[in-house]
Amino acid sequence: MAAVVAATRWWRLLLVLSAAGMGASGAPQPPNILLLLMDDMGWGDLGVYGEPSRETPNLDRMATEGTIFPNFYSANPLCSPSRAALLTGRLPIRNGFYTTNAHARNAYTPQEIVGGIPDSEQLLPELLKEAGYVTKIIGKWHLGHRPQFHPLKHGFDEWFGSPNCHFGPYDNKARPNIPVYRDWEMVGRYYEEFPINLKTGEANLTQIYLQEALDFIKRQARRRPFFLYWAVDATHAPVYASKPFLGTSRRGRYGDAVREIDDSIGKMLQLLQDLRVADNTFVFFTSDNGAALISAPEQGGSNGPFLCGKQTTFEGGMREPALAWWPGHIAAGQVSHQLGSIMDLFTTSLALAGLTPPSDRAIDGLNLLPALLQGQLMDRPVFYYRGDTLMAATLGQHKAHFWTWTNSWENFRQGMDFCPGQNVSGVTTHTLEDHTKLPLIFHLGRDPGEKFPLSFASTEYQEALSGIAQVVQQHQEDLVPGQPQLNVCNWAVMASLRQGTQWHLLYRGEGFRPPGPCSWDS
């Protein structure tokens, strides 16, 4: 037992040294890294976060055996930019995953997008390969459709999944169904070889993604260290689950999808334990953005006590569930109040591998190992971007809104409601409101729902504004925006493959549309 304790202390010391850029000769093999990224799952969707149905026993157990982060954020309230931020450790405004077609517009990577992850960006799997990692992505890529954006060109050794979400079905004329790939080969399409029954919600995709993960872990567990990025999308509307889980949740079809994901994660964690590699595998669970309340309750989740949801820079759009698990290293039953970000997974993973982040660019992610292993809290701001615009910033317990907006009156009147039942006068606005001269400031500890802005005349407001203003000014002075990747759309670039084994482009649409600016409504 003493030897185990000594070894654990040495490994922790090694991690601290690695995080500081210091090496150690004869270092043990770095740990495996398993990142579990959910799609549109909200802060309030897990039992450990207060969901009353308590239908996530495996994730709840993961929390009790590890660390829970109640203050963890995505880098954007939409999927593509958030995923780009995770894999680069950089805000979307830096890595190019934003649009300048309109002020403060959300944007992503539909099939007709021309842009994608730039070659100039260094992605996490590329860097981990320097430390001998084998890398795989399972599920949703969402960083571009064209050949130069393929995940195997950006550091992944293997891929099973899709360049997009499971939107559809389409008629394969004006728009093809979304393809599914194994590495470079297209093995089918959603709604065709990979059926999704929109009427019943039945689909076997989560089971397929689970088996892919189990097979990969079994193959690699005793070989080289592995990095597995499990990015499933069952909780993105239209939500789906396999037949054994349909109708089993008190929360409806969305709950069925959550239950199946929870069961799948339980099987992965159990396999790590059965293979006796759990103590050498760092596991982190989170989501790409807040729950899509526009699809709730049947097709969307819960953001708990927070305001609004996906697409907005209120807390419900960007605060995420987050769990860290590493038996023998991360103490059980811990709650970390560290302000965390999805970008921290980039820097933390590099530290686990004994690597330092690239020094030739700004990196926004922090190394969370001091918080996880030693309980340290590090001061850092959280920036809330919507497209090209810094909408808000949090420092400590205070959040300042420089702009407020949910969506346009036009879209709202058509039934698109990002904040159902949560109207806050002067806050959840349907026009883009400028507060840059006198920001709205909320104390998130006392007012997590952002309902009661501080009085402009209060001492607390003035002190909070002073601190946040300094941080924001420094951020904006240092900011070098990346070339925007989400400006141009062209229907002729839809990734398509009927035969063969190579990823290539084949336009098979009708009603040709010339290239032009993408139209983003919100």
* Annotated catalytic residue 236: no
Question: Sorting pLDDT into bands at 50, 70 and 90, what band is 511?
Answer: very low
Backbone angles phi, psi at 10, to 5 degrees: -65, -40
Q: Tell me the C-alpha distance between 271 and 510, whole Å.
A: 48
Confirm or deny that 101 is annotated as ligand binding.
Answer: no
* Annotated catalytic residue 79: yes
How many CA atoms does the CB half-sphere of 479 hold within 13 Å?
22
Question: Sorting pLDDT into bands at 50, 70 and 90, what band is 193?
Answer: very high
Location of structure tokens 């983003």? 520
Question: What is the mean pLDDT of the segment spanning 119-147?
Answer: 97
Question: Sorting pLDDT into bands at 50, 70 and 90, what band is 248?
Answer: very high
Contact between 167 and 147 (Cβ < 8 Å): no
Location of structure tokens 């590090």? 378
Confirm or deny that 183 is annotated as ligand binding.
Answer: no
Q: Tell me the C-alpha distance between 26 and 18, whole Å.
A: 13
The residue count of the chain comes to: 522
pLDDT in tens, 17-53: 344 333 333 457 899 999 999 999 999 999 999 999 9
* Annotated catalytic residue, options 142, 154, 236, 329: 142
Fold of 389-478: Arylsulfatase, C-terminal domain (3.30.1120)
Question: Sorting pLDDT into bands at 50, 70 and 90, what band is 214?
Answer: very high
Phi-psi region of 354 (alpha: psi -120 to 50; beta: other; left: phi over 0): left
Domain segments of the chain as ranges: 32-379, 389-478
* Annotated catalytic residue, options 79, 308, 489, 518: 79
pLDDT (0 to 100) of residue 515 = 76
Question: Sorting pLDDT into bands at 50, 70 and 90, what band is 501?
Answer: very low
pLDDT (0 to 100) of residue 520 = 78
pLDDT at 144 exceeding the cut of 90? yes
**What is the average pLDDT value for the chain, to the nearest integer?**
91
Location of structure tokens 């309980």? 375
Confirm or deny that 171 is annotated as ligand binding.
Answer: no
Question: Sorting pLDDT into bands at 50, 70 and 90, what band is 492?
Answer: confident
Question: What is the mean pLDDT of the segment spanning 417-424?
Answer: 96
pLDDT in tens, 259-287: 999 999 999 999 999 999 999 999 999 99
Question: What is the mean pLDDT of the segment spanning 98-102?
Answer: 96
Fold of 32-379: Alkaline Phosphatase, subunit A (3.40.720)
Q: Tell me the C-alpha distance between 265 and 416, whole Å.
A: 33
Question: Sorting pLDDT into bands at 50, 70 and 90, what band is 13?
Answer: very low
Confirm or deny that 288 is annotated as ligand binding.
Answer: yes
Contact between 225 and 133 (Cβ < 8 Å): yes
The percentage of residues in the chain with a pLDDT greater than 90, rounded to a whole number, is 87
Q: Which of 160, 208, 157, 203 is nearest to 180 (CA)?
A: 160
pLDDT in tens, 56-82: 999 999 999 999 999 999 999 999 999
The model's pTM is 0.93
pLDDT (0 to 100) of residue 522 = 64
Within 275-343, residue ranges assigned H as helices are 315-318
pLDDT at 96 exceeding the cut of 70? yes
Confirm or deny that 71 is annotated as ligand binding.
Answer: no
Long-range contacts of 2-11 (CB under 8 A, 24+ apart): 4/328, 8/328, 8/329, 11/329
Query: What are the angstrom distances between the C-alpha of 88 and each of 68, 74, 206, 329?
Result: 23, 13, 26, 26
Question: What is the mean pLDDT of the segment spanning 368-383?
Answer: 97
